[in-house]
């Protein structure tokens, strides 16, 4: 039986009709066509499907859509300011932190959550924050560099 789901996605409030067995990932990818959220493993392990619910990171592949009723979801499509990339997105590009790119959305959102709670993380803190995000191409060094560079940029922007 289809149910109504009240959900805000990237700032837009929507009412969707969904089946109880739909996951947040399905609602985003198939329901509203936001395919930037990826499914790498479907088991909550790889981190590609990471999105924010009410500002907190979750695994959308293991989140029942019905349980986000009334909540606000942020995906990778929702973090740029119009055509201007978020500093994390731009630093990922500049630092060569993107190769196949499949893990990038989950990593960028994870980094965004880290920097909002800890604007000046150490390298160890960055590594701990992204410990649940698999990348098979880069070996993480460039990703850590990109996050630290974005953190510095955001701090200097905040001070300016």
* 74 lies in the site for another protein, by CB under 8 A: no
Candidates 72, 132, 152, 153; binder of another protein (CB under 8 A) is 132
DSSP-derived secondary structure for 39-78: -SSSSSSS-TTEEEETTEEEEGGGSBGGGGTTEEEE-GGG
Residue 132 is encoded by which pair of tokens? Answer: 């649940």
Beta carbon nearer to another protein, 104 or 151: 104
* 155 lies in the site for another protein, by CB under 8 A: no
Name 90's Cβ contacts closer than 8 Å, sequence gap at least 6: 150
Candidates 48, 111, 147, 154; binder of another protein (CB under 8 A) is 48
Question: Which uninterrupted H or E stretch holds 9?
Answer: strand 3-9
* 16 lies in the site for another protein, by CB under 8 A: no
Site for another protein in 109-128 (CB under 8 A): 110, 113, 124, 127-128
- Total of residues contacting another protein (CB under 8 A): 78
Q: Which stretches of the chain are DSSP H helices?
A: 24-26, 87-94, 104-117, 123-129, 141-159
Q: What is the nearest approach in angstroms of another protein to the Cβ of residue 159?
A: 25
* 39 lies in the site for another protein, by CB under 8 A: yes
């Amino acid at each position: 039986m289809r149910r109504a789901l009240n959900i805000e996605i990237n700032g837009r409030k929507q009412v969707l009709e969904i089946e109880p067995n739909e996951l947040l990932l399905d609602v985003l990818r198939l329901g509203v066509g936001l395919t930037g959220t990826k499914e790498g493993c479907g088991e909550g392990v790889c981190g590609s499907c990471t999105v924010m619910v009410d500002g907190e990171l979750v695994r959308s592949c293991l989140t029942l859509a019905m349980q986000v009723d009334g909540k606000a979801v942020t995906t990778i499509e929702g973090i740029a300011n119009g055509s201007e990339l978020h500093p994390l997105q731009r630093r990922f590009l500049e630092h060569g932190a993107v190769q196949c790119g499949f893990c990038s959305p989950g990593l960028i959102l994870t980094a965004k959550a880290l920097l909002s709670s800890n604007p000046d993380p150490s390298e160890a803190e960055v590594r701990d924050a992204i410990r649940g995000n698999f990348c098979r191409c880069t070996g993480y060094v460039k990703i850590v560099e990109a996050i630290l560079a974005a953190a510095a940029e955001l701090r200097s922007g905040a001070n300016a």
